[in-house]
Amino acid sequence: MATGQIFSCSTQALFYNYKQLPIQRMLDFDFLCGRETPSVAGIINPGSEGFQKLFFGQEEIAIPVHSAIEAACAAHPTADVFINFASFRSAAASSMAALKQPTIRVVAIIAEGVPEADTKQLISYARANNKVVIGPATVGGIQAGAFKIGDTAGTIDNIIQCKLYRPGSVGFVSKSGGMSNEMYNTITRVTDGIYEGIAIGGDVFPGSTLSDHVLRFNNIPQVKMMVVLGELGGRDEYSLVEALKQGKVNKPVVAWVSGTCARLFKSEVQFGHAGAKSGGEMESAQAKNQALKDAGAVVPTSYEAFEASIKETFEKLVEEGKITPVKEVTPPQIPEDLNTAIKSGKVRAPTHIISTISDDRGEEPSYGGVPMSTIIERGYGVGDVISLLWFKRSLPRYCTQFIEMCIMLCADHGPCVSGAHNTIVTARAGKDLVSSLVSGLLTIGPRFGGAIDDAARYFKDAYDRSLTPYEFVEGMKKKGIRVPGIGHRIKRGDNRDKRVELLQKFARTHFPSVKYMEYAVQVETYTLSKANNLVLNVDGAIGSLFLDLLAGSGMFTKQEIDEIVDIGYLNGLFVLARSIGLIGHTFDQKRLKQPLYRHPWEDVLYTK
């Protein structure tokens, strides 16, 4: 491995398996360091393509998303780092696929628990092809002021506190990602900071070793001293011991191997990492510390003394003129995300939508302030749910029964009406359910099913102004307006619509008052004197009876009743009800496998 620097301020990466937070942290670090281009060139998310919006400083950018590693590498040939956030199940296969790409030079594997046999294959392939593997079970690595992998060094606040936004003089390598964050802080307190930091990962077989990176650091002119944090278990540290003995390292190395407390336990202890388990005296922390000290590394007497040893070594190099402490710079301010700022009370922002009928926050959704569990426990029906979501109150049972009755009676009126016909033709054209449903719903209007609101509006106005049926009908005639809710294509005075009769019977039995309905009946009596088909139809019945429901319940003001009619609530009942039938017609046609509909010639009048 050896050679030298593996990252720079122009390094770009491909990020495998989209994770918003670590990518945003990388981009925030880029901005903090003054990079001109984002360090994440592309995202690989198997099965997905497109773009992901993220922030680069104040600017919102779109990062390309690719579904395959090969496509991403071809699209971004300058991206030579592959950051793998795949699970341990797929990390090996995706990492090998990346290593085989000619453009990829470094692969970082975040997942822990990657099968050891797979890891060995990755290591073998990487070494044979002069590539670098960091991990598995790693948080990654960082070159101060230039590039970082994923969540390395934690939050922006921690990065600023550790002064990782500009390069220092210390090369640091550790097995532990968590301890790396601690050591970045420690090193910054007593030196001019980190130049490069690597966490090789805590699995038994890391893709690169402590000595691999120490030897790299030794070849980087800007690195003046190295700090190494090992741990008990395995023999990785002994490769560093050999490198020191052979004189391959000519810069000071301050090292400590954690796990000296293991001897206090009577039996073998497994620490956090898979590799942190002593398999004999040579793998103990004490033996490794002694070997490193004997080989020439600066090894303190305890972890508590580690900081002092680093400080002493750094100050000695400064005195010898080998280190000129880095001049401090002030990093730019990272814009705070709006959500974070709102939560902390720093800013306030207007909302874009107002909702008063439901709330999906908390443990369970609620309709009109009534929790979902309460709706089920109390045996509420569809009418009750409509009363909560449409009228924002729990209406009396007779009201909700009437609503349900309207829905049942208006659900369908055969295949010949315009809405059903449109839906049938659309379904037979091979269109999907939503398209077929909407094609039928679009026919609802003043001539088909959409006259309920108008019927209610005109009947209410006439009744409230005490107009006689004669004055009302003749007044509408003078205006050239047909009376909504009156008239039917089929029904007659001697063949009334059964639906109207059922609604009237229910209302007379249960409603406190049916004054608007009775007025509509009086209007019907007058219109029937003119023509036998000018009967009160279902639109007129529902419209007038809904006025009685609203007024008789005592739960709505006059202003609220007017608003309900004006907004179109009552037509909403027909839309909801008829959707049931239109969906049924769609399923019926598809179940029967009906072919494309073509209207017969003989049913068309061709004329000039």
Could you report the average pLDDT of every consecutive run of 10 residues in the chain (608 residues)? Answer: 88 97 97 96 96 95 97 98 96 98 98 94 97 96 97 94 96 91 96 97 91 97 97 89 96 93 56 52 90 97 96 97 90 88 86 92 94 96 96 95 95 94 97 97 84 92 96 95 91 92 96 96 96 94 96 94 91 94 98 96 94
d(CA 197, CA 108): 14
Res 147: pLDDT: 98
d(CA 541, CA 529): 19
Dihedral angle sign, alpha carbons of residues 351, 352, 354, 355: negative
- 273 catalytic per annotation: yes
Rg (CA), the chain: 39
Dihedral angle sign, alpha carbons of residues 377, 380, 381, 386: negative
Burial degree of 99 (CB within 10 A; 0-12, 13-18, 19+): buried
For the beta carbon of residue 307, count every other beta carbon within 10 angstroms.
17
Res 359: pLDDT: 95
Res 339: pLDDT: 83
Structure tokens at 74: 């071809």
Which residues is 495 bridged to in the sheet?
492
| Single pTM value for the model | 0.70
Structure tokens at 561: 């009743």
Q: Give residue 496's identity as a one-letter amino acid code.
A: R
Burial degree of 451 (CB within 10 A; 0-12, 13-18, 19+): buried
Q: Of 66, 76, 273, 488, which one is the catalytic site residue?
A: 273
Query: If DSSP codes are grouped into helix, strand and coil, which group holds residue 441?
Result: helix
d(CA 440, CA 409): 18
Q: Angle, nearest 10°, between helix axes 306-319 and 177-190?
A: 40
Q: Angle, nearest 10°, between helix axes 558-567 and 569-591?
A: 30
d(CA 22, CA 498): 66
